[in-house]
């Protein structure tokens, strides 16, 4: 069977090789077309957003820009003592918001996990809609809405954060529940348990670490969010930031940013240890 | 139990008027029904508004792109296993990533507006920093999880730093990086819809103007358009992610 290739064989092989080359050339052409389109998009976007829309005259030379950036260098040390209370406020708003968010999440998660949702055709899309709505509206917008509904103050901030975190927590939790091992669920159902018992004894033990991890992660993000809600009247560090900015106390602005960084650092350390102790 | 105590203490500390809570839902319902309904759809079906939407998309695109470009060195330097110097470069890169991420995109926007003036340049830069912090962390974690075998092998052949990164690290994170890129775009677009709130360009400016003029029906329409756009962008990115996963 290992005879010399006949001429027709050779021709066939050549043909196959040719078509392979052609295919490769085609995909190369397509790839460069992709890159070209991407590049054109970049150039167009730069043209519209950066070159046309910027008031270069007003911005002045590079030196002027550096000078106005330089105003922020320096920390107003005297401001720090008065930052303590707003910082704690920010932390508490973030924590309470996360807790309330978890409470709101319970139905959303239950309805949003395909394997335990009660009326698949109604509740599943409803939960998905809730999650998308919660995630797609920015926290500033939620805060504006709640400030209009419940008035200025920390409450609006808590609600805004709670509603905003529902989407992420519920989505991750629902996905965790969809991935569980169905064995224990079947086993507990076979003993005649009702739905609630199935959830408590078969589902929760399997997903609790994952859900707690998600909640901690969201809490960390919420600190960052609650630090700016004061910009629209929901208390905390954002309010101080706003005031410092409006009184042109640029060093004070830097101090507030330093305080926010410190808070985030604390949040990161706490969440690191909590997550380690869970897993 | 501890959580309960914390809730009570927190409510006490923040001085939250609980009695308002009970009237809240009724008031929210009537606010929504009387003031935000019906949304003024005509206001958003408008060439001017559409142009702002396009600008928002462009701003998010550029912000995500520049942010990802910044992410490459940040992720490389901030990954413990491949960083050029564990003692100096690694902590600096980690701290920069954390700082970029910790400062909210709104604060970046305000800072850049105050430095560069109103306009989309400030928005693009705010999104760039925000995306760099966000994607930098994900990328560094992804790089830390790679298989070190090829990297060691490359080093053994005498490859220099860049060669190791390009031929040993990059092929392993290519797909993950694409996924991060898509995710970053998603997040950047959501942020881009509101950075205009403080003068950094895009549709946020429309939102701010109408909020301040208490044109609630227009605000409702704008919010609806934001939700619709975000859903569209989510569908597109889900499709893109599915394609990337198939390439894996």
Q: What is the pLDDT of residues B142-161, one digit of tens each?
A: 888 888 888 888 888 888 88
Confidence check: pLDDT of B169 > 80 = yes
pLDDT at residue B248, rounded to an integer: 62
Confidence check: pLDDT of A3 > 60 = no
- What distance in Å separates the CA atoms of residue A102 and residue A211, rounded to the nearest whole number? 10
Total domains in chain A come to 2
Selected for mutation to probe chain A from B115, B218, B228 (highest A CB count within 10 Å) is: B115
- Under an 8 A CB cutoff, do A44 and B110 touch? no
Selected for mutation to probe chain B from A65, A136, A137, A247 (highest B CB count within 10 Å) is: A136
Q: Confirm whether A62 is domain-assigned.
A: no
For B104, the closest of A141, A158, A224 (CB atoms) is: A224
- What distance in Å separates the CA atoms of residue A136 and residue A95, rounded to the nearest whole number? 21
For B226, the closest of A59, A99, A136 (CB atoms) is: A136
| CA separation, residue B165 to residues B73, B137, B176, B247 (Å) | 11, 18, 15, 22
- Under an 8 A CB cutoff, do B120 and A46 touch? no
CB-based contact A188:A202 (threshold 8 Å): yes
Confidence of residue A6 (pLDDT cuts 50, 70, 90): low
Q: Is there a single domain that holds both residue A107 and residue A31?
A: no
Confidence check: pLDDT of B29 > 80 = no
Question: Does the predicted interface ipTM exceed a cut of 0.85?
Answer: no
Residues of chain A with Cβ-Cβ distance to B227 below 8 Å are 132-133, 136-137
Q: Confirm whether A75 is domain-assigned.
A: no
Q: Is there a single domain that holds both residue A170 and residue A241?
A: yes
- What distance in Å separates the CA atoms of residue A235 and residue A143, rounded to the nearest whole number? 11
Domain positions in chain B: 44-247
Taking alpha carbons only, the member of A229, A232, A236, A234 closest to residue A259 is A236
Burial of B35: CB neighbours in 10 Å, binned 0-12, 13-18, 19+ = middle
Residues of chain A with Cβ-Cβ distance to B10 below 8 Å are 92, 95-96
For A41, the closest of B61, B124, B207 (CB atoms) is: B61
Residues of chain B with Cβ-Cβ distance to A138 below 8 Å are 190-191, 193-194, 226
pLDDT at residue A2, rounded to an integer: 52
Q: What is the pLDDT of residues A219-247, one digit of tens each?
A: 988 998 888 888 887 778 888 888 888 88
Q: Is there a single domain that holds both residue A118 and residue A231?
A: yes
Nearest CA in chain A to B60: A45
Nearest CA in chain A to B30: A149
Residues of chain B with Cβ-Cβ distance to A92 below 8 Å are 10, 13-14
3-state SS, residue A189: helix
What number is the average pLDDT over the span A97-125? 85
| DSSP secondary structure letters along A11-59 | HHHHHHHHHHHHHHHHHHHHHHHHHHHHHHHHHHHIIIIIIITS-HHHH
Q: Is there a single domain that holds both residue A32 and residue A134?
A: no
Q: Is there a single domain that holds both residue A51 and residue A163?
A: no
Mean pLDDT of chain B: 83
A58 CB-near residues (< 8 Å, 6+ apart)? B117
CB-based contact A256:A230 (threshold 8 Å): no
- Under an 8 A CB cutoff, do B124 and A153 touch? no
Interface contact A75, partner B, CB < 8 A: no
What number is the average pLDDT over the span B89-106? 87
Selected for mutation to probe chain B from A44, A45, A65 (highest B CB count within 10 Å) is: A45
The CATH label, of 3.40.50.970, 3.10.330.10, 3.40.50.720, 1.10.3720.10, for the domain at B44-247 is 1.10.3720.10
pLDDT at residue A101, rounded to an integer: 92
Selected for mutation to probe chain A from B4, B56, B58 (highest A CB count within 10 Å) is: B58
Q: Is there a single domain that holds both residue A147 and residue A239?
A: yes
- Under an 8 A CB cutoff, do A264 and B58 touch? no
Domain housing A22: 7-55
Interface contact A241, partner B, CB < 8 A: yes
Burial of A40: CB neighbours in 10 Å, binned 0-12, 13-18, 19+ = exposed
Confidence check: pLDDT of A7 > 70 = no
Give the CA count within 13 Å in the CB-facing half-sphere of A155: 18
Phi, psi of A80 (to 5 degrees): -55, -45
Shortest distance between the Cα of B6 and any Cα of chain A, in A, equals 8
Nearest CA in chain A to B191: A138
Q: What is the pLDDT of residues B211-228, one digit of tens each?
A: 878 777 888 888 888 888
- Residue A85 maps to which CATH number? 1.10.3720.10
Q: Confirm whether A66 is domain-assigned.
A: no
Q: Confirm whether A205 is domain-assigned.
A: yes
Q: Cα–Cα–Cα angle for A70, B188, B145, nearest 5°?
A: 95
pLDDT at residue B129, rounded to an integer: 92
Confidence of residue A5 (pLDDT cuts 50, 70, 90): low
What number is the average pLDDT over the span B74-82? 86
Distance of CA A214 to the CA centre of its chain: 11
What number is the average pLDDT over the span A5-26? 78
Q: Confirm whether A65 is domain-assigned.
A: no
| CA separation, residue B229 to residues A136, A138, B203, B206, B222 (Å) | 9, 13, 12, 15, 10
Letter string b/e over residues A222-249, b meaning 16 or more CB atoms within 10 A of that residue's CB: bbbbbbbbbbbbbbbbbbbbbebbeeee
Confidence check: pLDDT of A4 > 60 = no
Interface contact A44, partner B, CB < 8 A: yes
Q: Confirm whether A120 is domain-assigned.
A: yes
Q: Is there a single domain that holds both residue A114 and residue A50?
A: no
For B117, the closest of A58, A133, A138 (CB atoms) is: A58
Q: Confirm whether A73 is domain-assigned.
A: no
- Under an 8 A CB cutoff, do A155 and B65 touch? no
Q: Confirm whether A70 is domain-assigned.
A: no
Confidence check: pLDDT of B16 > 80 = no
């Amino acid at each position: 069977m290992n005879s010399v290739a006949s001429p027709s064989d050779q021709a066939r092989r050549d043909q196959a090789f040719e078509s392979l080359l052609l295919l490769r050339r085609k995909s190369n052409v397509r790839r460069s077309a992709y890159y070209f389109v991407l590049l054109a998009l970049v150039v167009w976007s730069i043209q519209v957003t950066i070159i046309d829309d910027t008031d270069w005259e007003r911005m002045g030379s590079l030196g002027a820009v550096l000078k106005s950036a330089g105003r922020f260098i320096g920390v107003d040390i005297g401001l720090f003592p008065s930052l303590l209370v707003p910082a704690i406020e920010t932390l508490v708003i973030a924590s309470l918001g996360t807790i309330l968010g978890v409470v709101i999440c319970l139905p959303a998660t239950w309805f949003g996990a395909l394997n335990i949702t009660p009326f698949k055709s109604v509740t599943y899309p409803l939960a998905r809609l809730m999650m998308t709505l919660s995630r797609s509206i920015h926290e500033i917008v939620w805060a504006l809405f709640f400030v209009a509904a419940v008035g200025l103050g920390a409450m609006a901030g808590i609600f805004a954060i709670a509603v905003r975190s529902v989407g992420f927590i519920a989505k991750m939790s629902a996905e965790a529940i969809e991935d569980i091992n169905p064995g224990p669920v079947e086993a507990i159902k076979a003993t005649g348990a009702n739905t609630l018992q199935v959830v408590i004894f078969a589902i929760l033990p399997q997903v609790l670490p994952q859900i707690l991890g998600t909640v901690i992660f969201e809490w960390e993000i919420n600190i960052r969010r609650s630090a700016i809600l004061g910009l629209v009247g929901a208390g905390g560090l954002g309010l101080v930031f706003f005031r410092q900015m409006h009184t042109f106390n640029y060093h004070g602005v830097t101090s507030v940013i330093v305080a926010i960084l410190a808070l985030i650092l604390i949040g990161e350390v706490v969440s690191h240890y909590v997550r380690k102790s869970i897993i | 139990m501890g959580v309960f105590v914390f809730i009570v203490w927190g409510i006490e500390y923040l001085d939250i008027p609980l009695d308002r809570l009970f009237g809240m839902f009724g008031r929210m319902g009537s606010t929504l029904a009387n003031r935000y309904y019906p949304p003024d759809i005509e206001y958003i079906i408008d060439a001017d508004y559409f142009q702002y939407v396009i600008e928002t998309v462009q701003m998010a695109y550029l912000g995500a792109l520049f942010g990802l470009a910044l992410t490459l060195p940040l992720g490389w330097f901030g990954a413990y296993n491949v960083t050029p110097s564990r003692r100096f470069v690694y902590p600096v890169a980690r701290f920069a990533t954390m700082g970029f991420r910790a400062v909210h995109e709104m604060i970046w926007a305000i800072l850049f507006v105050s430095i560069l003036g109103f306009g989309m340049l400030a928005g693009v830069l705010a999104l760039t920093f925000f995306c760099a912090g966000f994607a930098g962390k994900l990328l560094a974690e992804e790089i830390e999880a790679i298989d070190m075998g090829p990297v060691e092998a490359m080093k053994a052949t005498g490859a220099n730093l860049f060669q190791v990164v390009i031929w040993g690290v990059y092929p392993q994170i290519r797909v993950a990086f694409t996924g991060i890129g898509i995710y970053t775009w998603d997040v950047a677009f959501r942020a881009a819809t509101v950075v205009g709130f403080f003068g950094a360009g895009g549709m946020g400016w429309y939102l701010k103007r109408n909020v301040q003029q208490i044109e609630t029906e227009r605000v409702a329409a704008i919010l609806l358009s934001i939700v619709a756009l975000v859903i569209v962008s989510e569908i597109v990115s889900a499709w893109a992610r599915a394609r990337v996963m198939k390439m894996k």
